[in-house]
Amino acid sequence: MYFGVKFVQRLLSSLASSRLKGLKCFKYVADLDRRQDAQLEQSLKTFILSQRGLEELELLSYQIQNTDFIMDLCEAFPLLHNFCGNLSYFTREQFRATLTVLANGWPALRRIGIARTGFEDRSLREETMEPGDIAALARLPGVEDARFWFDCHFKLDINDIRHMGEAWSRLKSLVLSAWQPNPPLSHLIPFANSFPVIEQLIAPFDCNSPLPLAIDVSARFSTLKTLWILDAVIEANTDGSLIAEFLSMVCGPNVKIQMTEDVMDLPQMFEERRDWVDDSFENREKLDDILRRIEAFHRVQEGIRRMA
């Protein structure tokens, strides 16, 4: 059943006047277009501001269209510890400025999810974002869960990973979805070096890039439990056994590794279940073979360890 913007406005107005007692978390889920979201802004803001005890706010389904919206929320809820928001059609300058407001206004954030969307603006989609665009969030040392979804390209190099690890030493979960080019698979080594307590890593990697020999793998994840490699396209001339050997060395036997050609849609960014993955790709057989090889490498390593 479809409910239009007028219905949602009336509902929010009614809820705002009733002041829901003890509401700690508000998650907005709807399917309105950008124009309708603009019409809804005042009603949504009035409702949120009426709930003075909020600690968690998830607005990925709502297209935030100006920095003032974030500023008003920061002033009302200085102790917020979970925020997810979709910054819609923001220029890079607006995006950076808004994240600065967010970081200054919510220093206690432990979980943050940021999307930058611009589905119909070709100039925005062809841009290449980089970690410098989210540098303001480095002021949030308590972040344990960070998720980013960009409707454009995103560049990530080794130094960027190191700087992120220095800023977020408590990070347990990192989810990243963006357009190609993907970082080389070998960048898992600086991830392992830089994030001492990370338990979940979900991101696209280039599985066809050069890999170090097993003896040259200089780090291994010590706390990682789950690794999801998105956009894992395996070219015909790529040796799957080298990928398997590398992953077995950098991850160890206790990490659940999954690989898929699929990419993550925006609504899936905070889903803990991963049954949205499409396993119908022609590449699936190659990926399954790599996963079987990883298990075989782990069995060999365990056998050697027991004999030592």
Q: Tell me what the mean pLDDT of segment 205-215 comes to.
A: 92
116 strand-pairing partners? 87, 150
Three-state secondary structure of the chain? CCCCHHHHHHHHHHHHHHCCCCCCEEECCCCCCHHHHHHHHHHHHHHHHHCCCCCEEEEEEEEECCHHHHHHHHHHCCCCCEEEEEEECCCHHHHHHHHHHHHHHCCCCCEEEEEEECCCCHHHHCCEECHHHHHHHHHCCCCCEEEEEEEEEECCCHHHHHHHHHHCCCCCEEEEEEECCCCEHHHHHHHHHHCCCCCEEEEECECCCCCCCHHHCCCCCCCCCEEEEECCCCCCCCCHHHHHHHHHHHHCCCCEEEECCCCCCHHHCCCCCCCCCCCCCCCHHHHHHHHHHHHHHHHHHHHHHHHC
In this prediction, residue 122 carries a pLDDT of: 74
Q: Tell me what the mean pLDDT of segment 149-163 comes to.
A: 92
Tell me the pLDDT tens digit for each residue of 108-145: 999 999 999 886 777 777 788 899 999 999 999 999 99
pLDDT-derived band at 146 (thresholds 50, 70, 90) equals very high
In this prediction, residue 266 carries a pLDDT of: 67
In this prediction, residue 215 carries a pLDDT of: 83
Tell me the pLDDT tens digit for each residue of 72-105: 999 999 999 999 999 999 999 999 999 999 999 9
Residue 282 in this model has a pLDDT that exceeds 70 = no
User: What is d(CA 253, CA 201) in angstroms, rounded to the nearest whole number?
Assistant: 16
User: What is d(CA 132, CA 4) in angstroms, rounded to the nearest whole number?
Assistant: 38
Q: Tell me what the mean pLDDT of segment 22-31 comes to.
A: 89
Tell me the pLDDT tens digit for each residue of 226-277: 999 999 989 989 999 999 999 999 998 899 999 988 777 766 766 665 555 5
In the chain, the percentage of residues whose pLDDT exceeds 70 is 92
In this prediction, residue 284 carries a pLDDT of: 78
